Chains A and B, each alone.
Chain A
């Protein structure tokens, strides 16, 4: 009897220790800011866009960022590929809400690059633009957001094309 109890005791402690050792660090989740803006058809956009998808890739670009624009066709390919997995791609043209000219320019860029995923022109009066976008110092910058509207981990800064594994790993984390 003593032997059985001893074995049980050791087993329980071993399992607990192994469980502790295998404990993975949970990814950081930061609420995505309240979106204030319109899409390229002029429709208002809110954070509801996240709820219908297991994850959403949000790519921030601007009219003056040649490299952001250059990689749009590849991001469109991600959009086509990921849409089959219920993962969405959304662009934010950060300066496209600053004037009618910028808005039209952004629309032309998107049309020329064959972009079909949703793009947002932020409302320049809103906190989304003034507090969140203003803090973005490098372009392109990409966030992965889960279906609850939380940013998973850190932003992916720089060309997305060269960070395929990082993007896919982050998307996987968002959908787990």
Chain B
């Protein structure tokens, strides 16, 4: 009798453990694990916990989703002036504008200006614009500790920059009627986190599309850069938005 009871006990134990081992978590439990990021969809499917039908109803939970590239990283409002002292604001930007931030006295910047002037016609023909922001690095660094002030029509900073600008390298831009603007605190604030891109040696540039910065910034551009194909991709993206 004892033997019989022991066998029953052993059997119960084995059955219980086997049932435990075979059990798979409920779909709801798996979905919760996926939503909090501890289980991947691929893993859950591989283990047979979920079917493709289950996947559709999963909310990808705690991760902050990537925002739309054309709304996530926006240029704010700014007011600055051209080298001639005319007011220029963000509202004057076209929907597709290549923004170049340059220290005109750097060799790298001069090369990039050459590329932009060479490419300007095709950019213009594709209904896009090029805007140059002149950075006087010494003044920009000094300005970091000063409060932002409203830009006036007679912007003293622009006069300072004009004196420091290598006018020869900018003459081509002027001839093409490309707007050359002062990089001031207002622009810097409007760039937000992107302002870090600007503090480099000589040149940084990127496309601005409808106010957003959807692409990476470049420290250099050359004649092999295919601006038109980039523009076409940006236009597709913009139209889809």
Contacts and interface: CB of A to CB of B under 8 A. Distances in A.
Interface stretch (B36-44, B151-159, B160-168, B231-239): B36-44
Contacts of B195: 66
Nearest to B108: A101
Interface string A127-168: 000000000011000000000000011111111001100100
B207 to A, nearest CB: 11
Contacts of B16: 12-13, 16-17
B63 A158 contact: yes
A175 interface: no
Interface stretch (B115-123, B124-132, B134-142, B209-217): B209-217
B13 interface: yes
A43 interface: no
Contacts of B2: 1
B76 interface: no
Contacts of B17: 16
A124 interface: no
A67 B193 contact: yes
B193 A25 contact: no
A101 B220 contact: yes
A112 B12 CA distance: 66
B176 interface: no
Interface residues of A, number: 47
Interface in A4-46: 5, 8-9, 12-13, 16-17, 19-20, 23, 25, 27-28, 30
Contacts of A166: 36-37, 62-63
B73 A67 contact: yes
A115 interface: no
A118 interface: no
B37 A156 contact: yes
Contact of A20 (B19, B30, B42, B194): B19
Contact of A101 (B34, B191, B219): B219
B66 A138 contact: yes
A109 B217 CA distance: 13
A9 B15 CA distance: 12
Nearest to A165: B62
B64 A105 contact: no
Nearest to A14: B16
Nearest to B217: A64
B66 A16 contact: no
Contacts of A125: none
B5 interface: yes
Contacts of A112: 196, 199
A162 B216 CA distance: 23
Contact of B40 (A9, A153, A163, A169): A153
B38 A28 contact: yes
B196 A69 contact: yes
Contacts of A5: 5, 8-9
A153 B197 contact: no
Nearest to B32: A25
Given A16-B13, A30-B40, A173-B38, 11 more contacts: A20-B23, A67-B193, A70-B196, A109-B196, A153-B37, A154-B34, A154-B39, A155-B63, A156-B37, A156-B63, A158-B63
6 contacts: A23-B25, A27-B38, A28-B43, A70-B196, A108-B200, A157-B66
The 8 closest A-B pairs by CB, nearest first: A64-B216, A158-B64, A16-B16, A138-B66, A66-B193, A28-B43, A70-B193, A66-B194
